[in-house]
Amino acid sequence: MIDIRLIRENPDLVRRELEKRGDTFALDEILELDVRYRGFLRHSEELRAQHNETSKQLGMKKEKPPGLIAEMRLVGEQISALQQQTREARAALDALLLELPNMPHSGVPVGRSESDNVVVRTWGTPKEFAFEPLPHWELGEKLGIIDFQQGVKLSGSRFYVLKGLGAQLQRALISFMVDVHVREHGYREVYVPAMVRRECMVSSGNLPKFGDNLYRDEQDDFWFIPTAEVPLTNLHREEILKLEDLPLNYVAYTPCFRREQLAAGSDTRGIKRGHQFEKVELYKVTDPQSSDSELENLVADAEAICRKVAIPYRVAQLCTGELGFAAHKTYDIEMWAPGCGEWLEVSSCSNCSDFQARRAGIRYRPGRGAGTQFVHTLNGSGLALPRVVIAVLENYQQADGTVLVPEVLKPYLQVQSGC
């Protein structure tokens, strides 16, 4: 959420920043509602101040004059009516504020589409194969480790079943990645619910605007998380954190659920995009001064995984038009997949500045006696599982259709050579 006071005091700045995303926003309506809201609020507070004073005096009197009580009742009714108007204006204002995306960081390149993203670095060189490398769906089927038909049988399109070493490879990657982040990067491992209350989705920015992308249990109003970012954002909801406890670094492994209402046929091959997938998520809560540098640390922590599994990757900075709703600045990490011949997004690391913190009410106190301030939150995959599985299969494949096990995964797998 953007601070209403900033919009009030500097609407042109906010408008200019938001329009970098390539869209227009209802700022005039917001400003108008804000004036209305404060008018009602001020009026009802003035009346209430008088009313409080008279009531207090009335309470001290032995004789209660009936005329005065009748008069007070009328004032009370006026206050109720004003409060109702105040509430309505506030609710309308909040509804609009919740629809505004975050403002981009000043260093984000202005642009409209993927082609305006900026590749900031590349690591490794795509391997030259002496044969035509196969896409993972062919490799997986030949090896009997990915079964698409059974996925469809159980749940429909965009579901798959991993079998034997396919399932084990994914599980090995999960353990390996979490271990690296805990032991080498200082993250605290947490296990969180995959179904959350509606307000958690509002805090993270998924609701009210993106409900169409979420699965939901209507009976109990549980919402299925599209990423661990949602529960992690809410871990400290409505808390005032101590400066000395920042930054908080969390790593969580969770399943993720996305409705992905894509056109039939797009991205349907393979396990790149499904309704359910596994992800290891990194999350940081920092003070506002540190979030810029912590984003660099976060990206480096995610990149470390790519290097350890020795798969070429590149890091792209997203342009303003590609930023997610809550994001202030984002880097994507893309691994090279020689079989499908594309750079696969395996991580998206974002500094959300105070956008989610404001929605979730997560604050800290900068110093003794100082007022509270909103923290900054950052998140990034470290990494998204099915796509790393794809990259491993396609990069480590051999001429005979078998796949070698990356060195770092050997301690985590039952086999030492490959499959």
When asked if residue 36 is in the footprint of RNA (CB under 7 A), the reply is no
- Whether residue 309 contacts residue 270, with contact meaning beta carbons closer than 8 Å, is answered with no
Active-site pick, 203, 348, 350, 353: 348
Catalytic residue among 353, 358, 387, 394: 387
Given 1, 4, 108, 392, the residue binding RNA (CB under 7 A): 4
Tell me the angle at which helices 385-395 and 165-183 cross, rounded to the nearest 10 degrees. 110
Q: Which is nearer to RNA, 219 or 414 (CB)?
A: 219
**Is 49 among the residues that bind RNA (CB under 7 A)?**
yes
Residue list 66-95, contact with RNA (CB under 7 A): 69, 72-73, 76, 80, 84, 87
- Sequence-distant (≥ 6) Cβ neighbours of residue 392 within 8 angstroms: 169, 173, 309, 311, 403, 406, 409
Of 45-53, 229-237, 242-250, 334-342: span binding RNA (CB under 7 A): 45-53
> Minimum distance from CB of 216 to RNA (Å)?
16
| Cβ proximity of 271 and 291 under 8 Å | no
Binding-site string for RNA from residue 347 to residue 386, where x marks contact by CB under 7 A and - marks none: ----------------x-x-----xx--------------
CB 387 within 8 A of CB 345: yes
**Is 48 an interacting residue with respect to RNA (CB under 7 A)?**
yes
**272 — phi, psi (to 5°)?**
-65, -40
Question: Could you tell me the CA-to-CA distances from 195 to 191, 192, 213, 215, 224 in Å, in that order?
Answer: 12, 9, 14, 10, 4
41 interacts with RNA by CB under 7 A: yes
Catalytic-residue membership of 345:
yes
CB 318, CB 331: distance < 8 Å: yes
Tell me how far, at minimum, the Cβ of 411 lies from RNA, in Å. Answer: 28
Asked if 364 and 243 count as a contact pair (C-beta separation under 8 A), the reply is yes
In angstroms, what is the minimal distance from the CB of 366 to RNA?
11
Catalytic residue among 19, 99, 342, 345: 345
Interface with RNA by CB under 7 A: which range of 40-48, 122-130, 293-301, 340-348? 40-48
Contact 349, 124 (CB under 8 A): no
Burial class (CB in 10 A: 0-12, 13-18, 19+), 156: exposed
Q: Is 5 in the site for RNA (CB under 7 A)?
A: yes
Q: Minimum distance between the CB of residue 246 and RNA, rounded to whole angstroms?
A: 16
Identify whether 115 is a catalytic site residue. no
Residue number, 67 or 156, with CB nearest to RNA:
67
Catalytic residue among 273, 307, 314, 365: 273
* Catalytic site residue from 21, 258, 359, 363: 258
CA distance 165 to 142: 13
Q: Is 293 a catalytic residue?
A: no
Binding string, residues 168-197; x marks residues near RNA by CB under 7 A:
------------------------------
Output 5 or 183, the one with its CB closest to RNA. 5
Give catalytic status of residue 387 as yes or no.
Answer: yes
Q: How many CB atoms are closer than 10 A to CB 264?
A: 6
401 closest CA partner among 171, 129, 125: 129
Among 118, 119, 154, 240, binds RNA (CB under 7 A): 240
Euclidean distance between CA atoms 191 and 231, whole angstroms? 10
**Cβ 229 vs Cβ 283: under 8 Å:** yes
239 catalytic? Reply is no
Identify which of residues 51 and 273 has a Cβ nearer to RNA in the complex.
51
Residue reference for tokens 């691994």: 335
Question: Which of helix, strand or coil describes residue 248?
Answer: strand
Residue pair 330/299 in contact (Cβ under 8 Å)? The answer is no
- Retrieve residue 371's tokens: 């007022």
Give phi and psi for 364, each to the nearest 5. -145, 165
Stretch that binds RNA, among 50-58, 127-135, 383-391, 399-407 (CB under 7 A): 50-58
Q: What residues make contact with RNA under the rule CB under 7 A?
A: 4-5, 38, 41-42, 45-46, 48-49, 51-56, 58-60, 64, 69, 72-73, 76, 80, 84, 87, 240, 363, 365, 371-372
Any idea which residues carry the catalytic annotation?
258, 273, 345, 348, 387
